Amino acid sequence: MENTINELHTLGDFIRWGASQFNKAKLFFGHGTDNAIDEAIALVFYALYLPQDIPEILWHARLTYSEKQRVLELLNRRIQERIPTPYLTSQSWFANLRFYVDQRVLIPRSPMAELIEQRFEPWVEADRVRRMLDLCTGSGCIAIASAMLAFPYAEIDAADVSQTALEVAQRNIKHYGLENRVHAVHSNLFSNLADIRYDLIVCNPPYADAREIETMPDEYHYEPLMGLEAGKDGLFFVKEILREATKHLTPDGAIIIEVGLSQTSLIEQYPELPFMWLEFRRGGEGVFLITAKQLCDYAEILEERGKEESETSKRVEEVVE
């Protein structure tokens, strides 16, 4: 480390060196950046307490010895421990808003940020949304961004089964001064939401199937497994949500769910359902919208498939015992 400190001098030197070392170590990028240079910039700027939009002249500024040490320690942790950058900096960006994150929650990365920035239009009439639910809220990023950017007059519930995740969500809610409109709710899916009806439900549930969990890069293993794992086909929670959603939607309401790579399995298992798969200009897939009316039309199918799932799970449990 001492040799490196003596050989590198400027802000640009450390960013270039960090990016080269990240590529050499074959790190995985996908928790806020998609390349080594942006990853290095994020860590170097954080270590030096600098904003992202510095004047170009500062890229040639020389670092003090203590600054070099601080930068190298952070870059080396990223390389040696493969900790995702947002966990090293305790911050992540979603819909151009900054959120506090730690290992109690998944790192925000959903393509639904784009939907929020567009106020969910043209699929949802934003001005008609008076109450929204962010189910499986984690850090609270979807609920908070929706309150800030899409529905400035709506009441929003941010629900999660993890009490520790809700502590992070509550911290972010307080940071943005939204305590009067965004409410952290401890609930196992819909269990503690009583008879509340929502104009819109947005959900980014666990949806990684068994194979995906086995092949995930090292960086993902720092995230809470309960926020990722969703059974053999990745649809354990999605099936329950679809079956119960009509009880919590207004007649003209809709639900938007992200299922990621489990999209294929969902289509195969529910070929009758009219899922509307949303497209994103900035990339991303596996997000669908379905209305309350459509869910009511296919309620029998959803209930029947749900019973089959429950019976299969029960038989598996009996065999294991």
Q: Which residues of the chain have pLDDT under 50?
A: 311-321
- CATH code linked to domain 2-89: 1.10.8
- The sign of the dihedral angle between the CA atoms of 27, 31, 35, 40 is negative
Rounded CA gap, 180 and 161, in Å?
A: 22
Nearest to 112 by CA among 265, 209, 257: 257
At 162, phi and psi to the nearest 5? -90, 115
The domain locations on the chain are 2-89, 96-320
What CATH number belongs to 96-320? 3.40.50.150
Q: What token pair was written down for 177? A: 């001064």
| pTM, full prediction | 0.90
CA 307 to the chain's CA centroid: 29
Cβ-based neighbour number of residue 8 at 10 Å: 20
Is the separation of the CB atoms in 114 and 280 below 8 Å?
Answer: yes
Tell me, yes or no, if the two domains 2-89 and 96-320 fold the same way.
Answer: no
Predicted pLDDT at 175:
97
Beta strands in the chain (DSSP E): 91-94, 97-100, 131-135, 155-160, 182-186, 198-203, 249-258, 276-277, 287-291
Number of residues that this document lists for the chain: 321
Among 111, 116, 172, 117, residue whose Cα is nearest residue 139: 172
- What pLDDT shows up at residue 2? 62
CA 278 to chain centre: 17
Q: Which pair of structure tokens corresponds to residue 176?
A: 């943005």
Q: What pLDDT is stored for residue 315 in this prediction?
A: 32
- Neighbouring residues of 37: CB distance < 8 A, sequence distance ≥ 6: 15, 19
Beta-bridge partners for 159 = 135, 185
What pLDDT, on a 0 to 100 scale, did the predictor assign at position 321? 36
Q: Tokens 């809610």 sit at which residue?
A: 173
